[in-house]
Amino acid sequence: MNQFMVRVLVVLTVILGVNYIAWRWLESLNWAAWWIAVPLVVAETYSLIDVSLFGLTVWRIRKRSPGPVPTDATVDVFITTYNEPAEMVLATALAAKAITHPHSTWILDDGARSQIRDLAHEHGIGYLTRSSEWENRPRHAKAGNLNNALMVTQGEFLLILDADQVPEPQILTNTLGYFSDRRVSLIQTPQYFINVPESDPLGSQAPLFYGPIQQGKDGWNAAFFCGSNALLRREALMQLGLVGYVREVERGIRKALKASRKAIRKARHSTEAKDPLVAGLLDQVQAAMDTARSELKAGASLSDITYRVRGSVNDAVQSLVESDFSALQADLAEISAMNLTDAEGFTVPEPELDDAIGRMSHRDWSPLGALESVQAVLDAISVERDTEAQPIMPLATISVTEDMATSMRMHAMGWRSVYHHEILAYGLAPEDLNTMLTQRLRWAQGTVQVMLRENPLLQKGMRLSQRLMYFATMWSYLAGFAAVIYFAAPIIYLTLGILPVQSISTDFFVRFIPFMVVNQLLFTVAGRGISTWRGQQYSLALFPTWITACTTAARNVWFGRPLNFAVTPKERQTGGPSWSLIRPQLIVMGLLLFALVVGSLRLIAGLNEPIGTAVNVAWVSFDLVILSVLITAVRYKGFTPQERTGTDAVQHRA
């Protein structure tokens, strides 16, 4: 019944939303004030798409229970830690050790702390740190930590736990059954925090996400990995690692071939290339490269391709040397400056190879110089690339949050995922605004990174519905830009009297109000009484965080700038209220209040009309209520256990 109601409301929301937005675009825009009219209608369109994607998500809510546990399932339980306090790590590890289903427990200590190592040994818990191969190579944070552990453990399934997530003894018994379906590679369970009062001032619990949203995504076979409290199938992870490895090797070869062709083309313009013998040889090499390129596209063996190109280049060099065409001294110097072989002769770090390839394609070579440089580059790529600690990286390393990218790649390879809606681990949420903001920034950055690097809409192998499920989450992180416009528009009207719409008339109300009403109803019914208000507040109130996430992630992906990545501290940071953390929001609040005053004065002076003023005052009040969550958040002094409402109540809801 509930599901039917949800679907009715989804249909109504979309119909009424399109009705409203179409009218907004076609009939209502105040072109005289296009600079606010257009941004506002774009923001509203953004929100309509957002709610439609939410509607699609909750269209197919799936509630399920696992089959019988495979008796021979071998499991490794991984507890990832970097700098969390030893007592916290130990508490989680001991609870993990006490899990009923047979398993091995491992602490993956990225901080390599001797205290933790000793505690692990004392309690008979496995202890792993990075192998020596990781020295001076990209560490890839948590993904790297897990990838390192995958190479030295053997369990068929892995349970991943953050250092603060204390598992229930039945966590494996209640979930492993889903793996009887051999296509299932991921089982995600909720993340729930025990150190959060009922009012949840920092919006730590995500009952809508670990509820209707993940259940809805599950209905489309798109429930995704959230980094902790999840089980993974080793086979699927390793498969991802292998496919990724082949892709990286191919990418390297393609890049080298492209630069080589360019170098040869430039050499064709040199004076020596007028000689028919030289021209003929260069043609031959070029033809060999064309063949290589099409073979690469056709999916031929990578080693064969490089082997044949090298053969043809070697022959050409031989002939040129025999007929006394010598490379210019300057060319020889440049080739040796490319530094493609060190004393050992076998390791070429990727940045240097990239650099060499870049220099090669920009220089005007003599024919022999060009060929010899090509020779050097081909030799360099044919040996093992040595920039990564491990050739196989099962967990995706393209983002600071490895989880979403990993499950997306699994889905693209045809694996299935499960969302199991039962709280089976209890964690600790940040207890102060600063830590909370750092954490949200990191999640948002990670999500936007994945969107920019591997846009789900363009991923082959996933169904359209799966692509949309991933896209929906990414899309929601663009809310920061919309929020700014939603704050600016009423301020502009109240202070300057400029309306983004032609007039606030019956036309507006009959379209807008029904849409807003069904929209809110949809959230209420789909949320099954879960309070979604905190989430709605934060999705607008944290607009500076979302915008920073988008801009830093874009700079990182497109221009290679660092993200200034920070590990989320699990302990409370000390100190008084830090108002500076929410300076942009305080400024906005000030402007909103100022607008209320000016708006009233303008109304009295007859400069603004009454209906417009009423609508905008209501809008400003709504904005202020949204932002007020931050005042409580800044003043929040951390969790005191008396406030606790008991985890039982929540379990029942789950």
Partner 1 sequence: MQFSTEHKTDYTEVAGNGRLNMVAAPKLREVVQEAVSAGYKRIVVNLAETSFMDSSGLGALIGCLKLARQAGGDLRIACVQPQVLMVLELTSMNRVLTPHPTAEEAFSHD
- Which stretches of the chain bind partner 1, using CB under 8 A? 151-152, 154-156, 234-239, 241-243, 245-247, 249-250, 299-304, 345-347, 383-384, 386, 390-392, 394
DSSP-derived letter for residue 419 is E
Q: Please say which residue, 71 or 154, places its beta carbon nearer to partner 1.
A: 154
Q: Shortest approach of partner 1 to residue 109 CB, angstroms?
A: 21
Q: Please say which residue, 393 or 553, places its beta carbon nearer to partner 1.
A: 393
Q: Please say which residue, 270 or 306, places its beta carbon nearer to partner 1.
A: 306
Q: Please say which residue, 6 or 143, places its beta carbon nearer to partner 1.
A: 143
Identify residue 560 by its one-letter amino acid code: G
Q: Shortest approach of partner 1 to residue 300 CB, angstroms?
A: 7
Q: Shortest approach of partner 1 to residue 393 CB, angstroms?
A: 10
Question: How is residue 546 written in tokens?
Answer: 């979302």
Residue 233's nearest CA partner among 158, 175, 180 is 158
Q: Shortest approach of partner 1 to residue 645 CB, angstroms?
A: 43
Report the C-alpha dihedral over residues 274, 275, 281, 283, rounded to 10 degrees.
30
Q: Where are the beta strands (DSSP E) in 500-642?
A: none
Report the C-alpha dihedral over residues 175, 178, 182, 184, rounded to 10 degrees.
-80
Q: Please say which residue, 130 or 440, places its beta carbon nearer to partner 1.
A: 130
Q: Please say which residue, 152 or 611, places its beta carbon nearer to partner 1.
A: 152
Q: Please say which residue, 245 or 475, places its beta carbon nearer to partner 1.
A: 245
Q: Please say which residue, 146 or 236, places its beta carbon nearer to partner 1.
A: 236
Distance between CA atoms of residues 193 and 166, nearest Å: 10
Residue 427 bridge partners (DSSP): 193
Q: Shortest approach of partner 1 to residue 345 CB, angstroms?
A: 7
Distance between CA atoms of residues 602 and 496, nearest Å: 9
Dihedral sign from CA coordinates of 155, 160, 163, 168: negative
Q: Shortest approach of partner 1 to residue 384 CB, angstroms?
A: 4
Q: Please say which residue, 190 or 241, places its beta carbon nearer to partner 1.
A: 241
Distance between CA atoms of residues 263 and 267, nearest Å: 6
Q: Shortest approach of partner 1 to residue 284 CB, angstroms?
A: 21
φ, ψ of residue 78 to 5 degrees: the values are -105, 125
Q: Shortest approach of partner 1 to residue 76 CB, angstroms?
A: 10
Looking at the chain, the number of H-run helices and the number of E-run strands are: 22, 10
Q: Please say which residue, 345 or 638, places its beta carbon nearer to partner 1.
A: 345
Q: Which residue has the tokens 């949050």?
A: 401
Distance between CA atoms of residues 514 and 574, nearest Å: 47
Q: Shortest approach of partner 1 to residue 147 CB, angstroms?
A: 11
DSSP-derived letter for residue 55 is H
Distance between CA atoms of residues 409 and 459, nearest Å: 9
∠ CA 422-178-426, nearest 5°, is 25
Q: Which residue has the tokens 């979302």?
A: 546
Distance between CA atoms of residues 253 and 555, nearest Å: 26
Q: Please say which residue, 245 or 579, places its beta carbon nearer to partner 1.
A: 245
Dihedral sign from CA coordinates of 613, 614, 619, 623: positive
Q: Shortest approach of partner 1 to residue 151 CB, angstroms?
A: 8
Q: Shortest approach of partner 1 to residue 361 CB, angstroms?
A: 25
Q: For the chain, first and last CA: distance in Å?
A: 19
Q: Please say which residue, 233 or 534, places its beta carbon nearer to partner 1.
A: 233
Q: Is there a contact between 379 and 317 (Cβ–Cβ < 8 Å)? A: no
Q: Is there a contact between 498 and 492 (Cβ–Cβ < 8 Å)? A: yes
Q: Shortest approach of partner 1 to residue 413 CB, angstroms?
A: 9
Identify residue 355 by its one-letter amino acid code: D
Q: Please say which residue, 238 or 624, places its beta carbon nearer to partner 1.
A: 238
Q: Shortest approach of partner 1 to residue 349 CB, angstroms?
A: 13
Q: Shortest approach of partner 1 to residue 108 CB, angstroms?
A: 17
Residue 209 burial (CB < 10 Å; 0-12/13-18/19+)? middle
Q: Please say which residue, 240 or 589, places its beta carbon nearer to partner 1.
A: 240
Residues in the chain: 654
* DSSP conformation letters of 104-163: EEEEEETT--HHHHHHHHHTT-EEE---GGGTTS---HHHHHHHHHHTT---SEEEEEET
